[in-house]
Amino acid sequence: MRYLPHTEQDVAAMLEVIGVKDLDELFAPIPDGCRRKEPLNLPPPLSEWELDKYMDKLAADMAVAPEYRLFLGAGSYDHHIPEVVKQLLLRGEIFTAYTPYQPEVSQGTLQGIYEYQTLITRLLNMEVANASMYDGASALAEALLMAIRVTRRKKIAISEAIHPHYRQVVETYFGPTGYEIVLLPAGADGRTVTDNLPEISELAAVAVQSPNFFGCLEDLAAVAKAVRRDTKTLLVTAFSEPLAFGLYKPPGSFGADIVCGEGQSLGNARSFGGPGLGIFATRKKYMRTMPGRLVGKTVDREGRRGFVLTLSTREQHIRREKATSNICSNQGLCATAAAMYMACLGGSGFAGLARLNYDKAEYLKAALKKAGAEIPFSAPTFNEFVVRLPAGTYRRLLKNKIVAGLPLEPYYPDLAGHYLVCVTETAGRDDLDLLAKEVQS
């Protein structure tokens, strides 16, 4: 079956209109070295049932649940998603909703985003949140660019304990700009070392993550005190697991100027790595420099409540030089899922789930330590932590269909033999006991 809808007659008619005789002439401007000369090396076509069988064979090569016991987090977390959230997301008016350019016909979409913004500000203890961004990594990069706009400075400091992928995205954003990035080291306890901050002048922002990549809770009160020695420097805090704020004080409580991170764990499936949900919140005084879009509540001429795009300062809407970002849209469906998830759990449910994640992780941490594994970082953690396993243990566990965390050596060469282990409410006690038993043997 052909996948191109155009017949030979359609193609000929289009070529005639644009004034070229054939496809070769159409593509002639493409340099010869960039054009493929031979056909694609593709296997012969398969029937539907043959293709299903082939895909099953490929899937069997992957370590996935329930066949494997997975203890992986590192920015993507396995949480139970209530069935009500899954079913409501499938409703046509939600699943197919597009950018709300016309508020008079987009009230449902706008209200959904407004509710999401409200819940995020409450979760993070911030004054204003945007309608969401692409993911946690791009949200952090946009936050640091925003800090440069606010302060008119060209240097930022970023913690080594921030997710390595987030730092890579920041470096990609900043690469062509000439802005300077200073790396703050992680200390022996797993937290960011800020002792040298007074020696670094003219900082636009200091960025830390809490819980950080190692699962450790940063001492945000101490970080904020160090940052505030320069009253112009902004404190940017990132996160990859917002469930932690059901148990620990949110960044806004420590005076953070911008809070951003990944919201996948709020009602969004892991889906082999995407899509993500970029959460972004700030202080009201910085609202007009915030990237993305903001939905606001108003009243019409008859006094009826309505919702509108209050701010949408991207290139399509205002002059390019005044745009605060070039983000094309917000993650509307993912943000809606997060709002449904938070509303479904409620405040007490959210806190209870956070406590359950913490308790299970602490149970496994103690069991692994008893089994002979080393816990190198002493800082308090949430639902993941770093463990040092005896040589050969990780591969042996993998053969027994247990993925005992994420190897840290590719990201931190000095942490060879260390693994980032994650536990959420989806892990049963038998899973935790089995991992500890296998490590001991």
69-81+346-440 classified as CATH 3.40.50.2300: no
Distance of alpha carbon 33 from alpha carbon 25, whole angstroms: 16
Indicate if the pLDDT at residue 320 is higher than 80: no
pLDDT level of residue 404 (50, 70, 90 thresholds): very high
Over the stretch 376-396, which tens digit does the pLDDT of each residue have? 999 999 999 999 999 999 999
Question: Measuring CA to CA, how many Å separate 266 from each of 213, 224, 263, 337, 363?
Answer: 18, 27, 6, 7, 24
Per-residue pLDDT at 322 = 72
> Average model confidence (pLDDT) for the chain?
93
Over the stretch 137-192, which tens digit does the pLDDT of each residue have? 999 999 999 999 999 999 999 999 999 999 999 999 999 999 999 999 999 999 99
134-143, 286-295, 415-424: which has the minimum mean pLDDT? 286-295
DSSP structure class, residue 244 = G
Distance of alpha carbon 272 from alpha carbon 55, whole angstroms: 15
Distance of alpha carbon 252 from alpha carbon 103, whole angstroms: 31
Q: Span 83-342: which CATH code?
A: 3.40.640.10
What residue spans define the domains of the chain?
Answer: 69-81+346-440, 83-342
Indicate if the pLDDT at residue 97 is higher than 90: no
Distance of alpha carbon 147 from alpha carbon 135, whole angstroms: 18
Per-residue pLDDT at 1 = 42
Per-residue pLDDT at 319 = 65
Q: Which residue, chain included where needed, has tokens 């892991």?
A: 270
